[in-house]
Amino acid sequence: MYFAVKEKLANKTRLINIVVLTLVLTLTFLKPFGLIDFDKLEGENVLIAEREGAANCMTTLKLKDNFTFSERGVCFGVMETKGNYHFQNDTIFFDNVKLGPHQNEFYMFAVVKPSKFSKDGKQFNLVRYKNLQDTIGHELWVSKNELDKYKNKKPNR
Query: What confidence score (pLDDT) does residue 48 get?
Result: 93
Query: What confidence score (pLDDT) does residue 36 get?
Result: 83
How much is the CA Rg of the chain, to the nearest whole Å? 23
Q: What is the mean pLDDT of the chain?
A: 85
Going by their DSSP bridges, the two strands 91-98 and 78-88 should be labelled as antiparallel
Query: What confidence score (pLDDT) does residue 1 get?
Result: 65
Nearest CA to 155 among 87, 94, 97, 96? 87
pTM: 0.74
C-beta contacts of 38-41 below 8 A and 24+ residues apart: none
Q: Facing residues of 48 across strands?
A: 62, 144
On the question of pLDDT at 157 being above 60, the answer is no
Beta strands per DSSP E along 1-120: 45-52, 58-64, 68-74, 78-88, 91-98, 109-114
Q: Give the phi and the psi of residue 105 in degrees, each rounded to 5.
A: -150, 165
On the question of pLDDT at 5 being above 80, the answer is no
Per-residue pLDDT of 82-126, as tens digits, reads 999 998 888 899 999 998 888 888 999 999 888 887 777 778 899
Domain ranges of the chain: 1-35, 38-149
Per-residue pLDDT of 24-76, as tens digits, reads 999 999 988 888 877 777 888 899 999 998 888 999 999 998 899 999 999 88
- The three-state secondary structure class of 16 is helix
The domain defined by 38-149 folds into Lipocalin (2.40.128)
Query: What confidence score (pLDDT) does residue 155 get?
Result: 63
Would you say 34 and 27 are in contact if contact means Cβ atoms under 8 Å apart? no
Nearest CA to 139 among 75, 50, 72? 50
Query: What confidence score (pLDDT) does residue 26 get?
Result: 92
